[in-house]
Structure 1
């Protein structure tokens, strides 16, 4: 059985980052809300309490029974976790005289502590808290302090419970990775054996046992998640996997043909369906972004269901759901407020009586890419930028017409090809062209024009939760703009989006 670390989420914005850092150290971990505890079996090697936006002094602050963990598992409390353990063990937490936020340096360190092995004096850490631990119980030992935070880290004597007031998971804590490794390896005894190879081996074995001789249908998108999910399922059940790749008329230029060809070269049992006219016909005259999304989702399910019914005795629907989607659905605060409908079709209509299998629902996006690389999937698919499920429909602001789609496909192809040729494609997390619902005056030759505007968008990010606009070279932007205006009829102006997320989103709709 795969050993694991359980991270209990008290609502911190950094909880996913803790998990990512643990995974980077080749240790499998799971995030669970503090109020929905998992089964703690022999595979659990240790527990981490996350931070929280709450103060431990609030009456409605998250509460947990410490006796379930103390002296039963190695325990690391981070920020709120550290304050909670101190407060509920007889210590005292009070409001900080000043808000302790940002960089700090450890001035006093107990070098004998296994948690702080290899971490020297003046090591920079990241603080983010409004309370401070004023007093610890008699059986607690302070193991690190800063100039302003006396209890920056402590150890509960005669136990494997360690707590820190700072955040080791952020890059600003210079030795944060070392501290986590000390906890995971030296204190919890983790073997660091969770690798892409190990994941592939155990996942394929589990899929074979779960699915047996059953048939599975899976909708391919050309993206990383569905492609990796398909290859894992294919290696587990072979021809019993039936893949469906739908052309909704809103893909990038020549994408349907190119991706379909890639899938067939991978040995997948895949059927391509040209449903352009059906989608574009249903979208005619619709400008509202949510209505566009819902229309595309509805038509996709109809087309997918028609194709699935052509396969006899299907029992399972394969999906490329990844771990952030799972975490979000069971988060401490519940699903986040809907800013826009999820790009993927969420849920199944009642008439599709299928069980769901999700081979990637324990992986983050970067882990999916590493697994795909290990599986031998072509770099053109593994390194492909995220592309929204509704496709170009949400990159055409306003109503959708075949003419607008054709214009955007041409402009987007010039943009992406230039990013690839210049070496910038792999430096950017996501890029795409946007068709704006405005026209502007221009001059071409001796003639006045009144044509459309294309906006270029490129961002850097780790997982899409936050993003910064990419600082593409002016010379490259000038070349792309010139090629689009000269080669795409109907465009006479190109602009570049320099908004970050937040406050903006990556897509415009």
Structure 2
């Protein structure tokens, strides 16, 4: 499904690790935006954007395989903002050779001196800290541009076209280290592009319900519920749109957390009044996953098996035409590799795990939303806050938290360890202070001593992160006494685990889930 409003910003991705942050900053202003590859065919866009942002990128504009500038952007006559590589490719497009390697690279904080405090730098102090990340610099600025900002190391730190609304900055306004970055983005989006910021959770719900009704008509929709916030929001949206033309199915795939199947089914039936059918397919899933180690293969098997279960559940009912699912924008971004820019990190069962031929067409109402945006929509839909605030849980469930082949014994160990970690977070008022917490069971056995006996058992790793939308995350600095208590409980209460570690890596470079 496509929820693109008339007022929106197009972000062309040249491969920067910060591209998603640009999108977040724009959306924080209640302005819709989309990320597309730098070589996107703009003629395929049904409604043109009201502004275009060119992201940074890891390449030099002088590299043989460097992403090129799509000059069609100039045909739209809308404001353009180039960020880092985006600025350099604007200069390089006008004057090949205008960008060269800098004698002194600039990474990290730098002091920006603003030379012109109008339009892009309106209400920005003349001196402020910005975040640099570049090895090239502009040595020859095209005549049609003028400098509006510089640093000690970069005489061209910000530019403006003399006649058109085209701007460029050498630094990254999208990162928090740029002190007035949010204000710079706001100046571009609100004041230069003249976008009022009318894209809200309420407007999204209204337009989405209307789109679902128009698309589905009198047909029926099947929704696979995972027990998480995303699919629950999707089911609630679709239910409000078409009522009992929706049939939800909540599958016990044997990969859920302790008591989760019964507890969540109660919420669906009693709190949300969703038309839902619970199916125990745990034996089928575990039989298909037997002996599988590769995480990508696990994801695809799990995704395919979900579809098989759904197909079987409605095999006698030919009225179903659509399958609704909770694909999110990060799922889409991380599952697509652009030619040149961002590499595929992992496939998601909502995106890459579906069979090539399906018996049902997809309805993905939140496909363009980040996680925090889905939660805001859920609140407006009246989903209970205790459910909205649940930590994210992956569609493949514990199947990607057993870092080896999957057996029921390993899953049961992991379930118990996970239950201890999560319950202690809740008991110590820490659950809502982290964005996601989980336990992984490692394919590592080590020697331990319990009493006078030698043990040779598995290692569990605890993972807790702080984040806003899951695109970036930092490891949570949980109190040491708390971690000690969790470790002690797991080792003493979960047979088969004799060692516990705590993961202190951030995203990037690591991902939140281990697989």
Equivalent residue number for residue 165 of structure 1:
170
Q: Where do residues 316-465 of structure 1 align in structure 2 (5 Å cutoff)?
A: 316-328=322-334, 331-333=337-339, 341-344=347-350, 346=352, 348-349=354-355, 352-444=358-450, 449-465=455-471
Equivalent residue number for residue 98 of structure 1:
104
Question: Using the alignment, how far apart are the partners of 1:186 and 1:80 within structure 2?
Answer: 24
Structure 1 residue 368: Cα displacement? 1.2
Q: Where do residues 306-325 of structure 1 align in structure 2 (5 Å cutoff)?
A: 306-325=312-331
Equivalent residue number for residue 493 of structure 1:
499
Any conservation in 2 of the 1:329–1:335 contact (CA below 8 Å)? no
Structure 1 residue 70: Cα displacement? 6.5
Any conservation in 1 of the 2:300–2:349 contact (CA below 8 Å)? no
Structure 1 residue 223: Cα displacement? 1.3
TM-score of the two chains, using structure 2 as the length reference: 0.90
Structure 1 residue 383: Cα displacement? 1.9
Partner residue of 1:14 out of 7, 14, 18: 18
Any conservation in 2 of the 1:66–1:85 contact (CA below 8 Å)? no
Q: Where do residues 83-94 of structure 1 align in structure 2 (5 Å cutoff)?
A: 83-90=88-95, 92-94=98-100
Question: Using the alignment, how far apart are the partners of 1:419 and 1:52 within structure 2?
Answer: 39
Whether 2:135 is the aligned partner of 1:135: answer: no
Structure 1 residue 480: Cα displacement? 1.5
Whether 2:59 is the aligned partner of 1:54: answer: yes
**Partner SS state of residue 135, structure 1:** coil
Structure 1 residue 275: Cα displacement? 1.4
Question: Using the alignment, how far apart are the partners of 1:334 and 1:234 within structure 2?
Answer: 41
The superposition leaves residues 118-175 of structure 1 with CA deviations (integer Å, 9 ceiling, x where unpaired) of 1112211112222212222333221111112112111111221222111111111111
Any conservation in 1 of the 2:303–2:354 contact (CA below 8 Å)? no
TM-score of the two chains, using structure 1 as the length reference: 0.91
| Stretch of structure 1 that moved more, 392-401 or 263-272 | 392-401
The superposition leaves residues 349-379 of structure 1 with CA deviations (integer Å, 9 ceiling, x where unpaired) of 3663221111011111221111112212122
Question: Using the alignment, how far apart are the partners of 2:263 and 2:340 within structure 1?
Answer: 39
Any conservation in 1 of the 2:88–2:137 contact (CA below 8 Å)? yes
Equivalent residue number for residue 210 of structure 2:
205
The superposition leaves residues 385-405 of structure 1 with CA deviations (integer Å, 9 ceiling, x where unpaired) of 222333223323444333332
Unpaired segments ≥5 residues, structure 1? none
Equivalent residue number for residue 226 of structure 1:
231
Any conservation in 1 of the 2:332–2:351 contact (CA below 8 Å)? no
Whether 2:273 is the aligned partner of 1:267: answer: yes
Any conservation in 2 of the 1:459–1:467 contact (CA below 8 Å)? yes
Question: Using the alignment, how far apart are the partners of 1:405 and 1:59 within structure 2?
Answer: 49
Aligned-CA RMSD value: 2.6
Question: Using the alignment, how far apart are the partners of 1:64 and 1:335 within structure 2?
Answer: 13
**Partner SS state of residue 123, structure 1:** strand
| Stretch of structure 1 that moved more, 294-303 or 75-84 | 294-303
**Partner SS state of residue 210, structure 2:** helix
Structure 1 residue 71: Cα displacement? 7.9
Question: Using the alignment, how far apart are the partners of 2:17 and 2:456 within structure 1?
Answer: 47
